[in-house]
Amino acid sequence: MKVTDVQAILISIPLKKPTSMSNKTVTAREYVVTRVHTDEGITGSAYTLGGSVVLAAVNETLKPLVMGADPFDTERLWDKMFRTTLMLGRKGAVIRGISTVDIALWDIKGRALNKPLYKILGSYTDKIPLYSSGGYYRQGESFQQMADEMAGIVERGFRSIKIKVGALSFREEVERLKILRRTVGDDVQIMVDANCAWNDLTYARRIMRAFEEYHIGWFEEPVLPDNFRGSAELAAMFETPIATGEQECTRWGFRDLIEHKAADILQPDVAVVGGVSEWMKVAAMASAYDLPVSSHYFHDVHVHLMASVPNALVAEYFPLDLDIMVFDTVVKEPLKPDKGYLPVPPRPGLGMDLDEEKLKHYRIG
């Protein structure tokens, strides 16, 4: 089998309302969708968040590196893509592009062997525990409205939820969390995600102490991704775990996170870290340090990876109707949670088939 073509497109799916976190506001979600085609008529698919820079990386830089290759040679092709683009890649847009190509190659493997991806990787379980993300900031939405929305998610069977923090004043953030805890009760685990909002460690310590009163499951990305020292200080100071890694790239980036003791929970993102090949290496390295991994978004792919490793903690899931992450809009059969778990689809490869008409509708590049 040989790779005959690589095609990436850029789609933009508008949100119904502007949605904010600590560092930005979004009105649409842009995804790069990569397809790798073979001479046997098997096509692998993948996607990542990103714009025109990622699109160009796939179509102009990475495509020539895999043309004519055997799609089963994922280790060799990953190394070739990474080393060839080292000067301009290493982290960021190019690695996201590499991630999509690698994921698509693994999708091809599964489809060619007529096996779900997790069975090829070495399955550990047939379903994975989930938490639901929500609780973003929306103009005109009261704290109680946010809490009621998350309570509705709990009623669907989720026992763990995550909200955004870091965009408001100290008093407002504490009050917002207090209302959420009062609304969902004491038996629901609440995690908070600051999206790197707290560069001032003094302030970070102060607000994290205030949050601990409400029994937080973890503090996510309290400081910038490269501030290993600051994250390590917070991890050493608080019993509540520090979770980070969704913006980290490659096994070497996670090696540094681990060596600095900057996180209690690692959050590799398959569409950022370097694809399936690199995600599995990070999970294996984490297991050697008895560290759990918790995947970030992209549940279509992560369901297979998290089901393949013994140190998987819990995976992130975004209900489509919360209008936050909306790629399921273009998926023919989106995965459906069942009482807080996500069963692994038995279909070959990723088991993710895309709606071609909807892709055309939302395509912008």
User: Which domains are assigned to the chain?
Assistant: 3-114+355-362 (3.30.390.10), 119-343 (3.20.20.120)
> What confidence score (pLDDT) does residue 141 get?
95
Which residues in the chain show pLDDT less than 70? none
What are the tens digits of pLDDT across the range 156-189? 999 999 999 999 999 999 999 999 999 999 999 9
> What confidence score (pLDDT) does residue 15 get?
96
* Separation of alpha carbons 103 and 269, rounded Å: 12
> What confidence score (pLDDT) does residue 198 get?
92
> What confidence score (pLDDT) does residue 131 get?
97
pTM given for the model: 0.96
Length of the chain: 365
> What confidence score (pLDDT) does residue 257 get?
97
> What confidence score (pLDDT) does residue 227 get?
95
> What confidence score (pLDDT) does residue 264 get?
98
Closest CA to 219 of 228, 227, 229, 209: 209
> What confidence score (pLDDT) does residue 23 get?
86
> What confidence score (pLDDT) does residue 88 get?
85
> What confidence score (pLDDT) does residue 324 get?
93
> What confidence score (pLDDT) does residue 172 get?
97
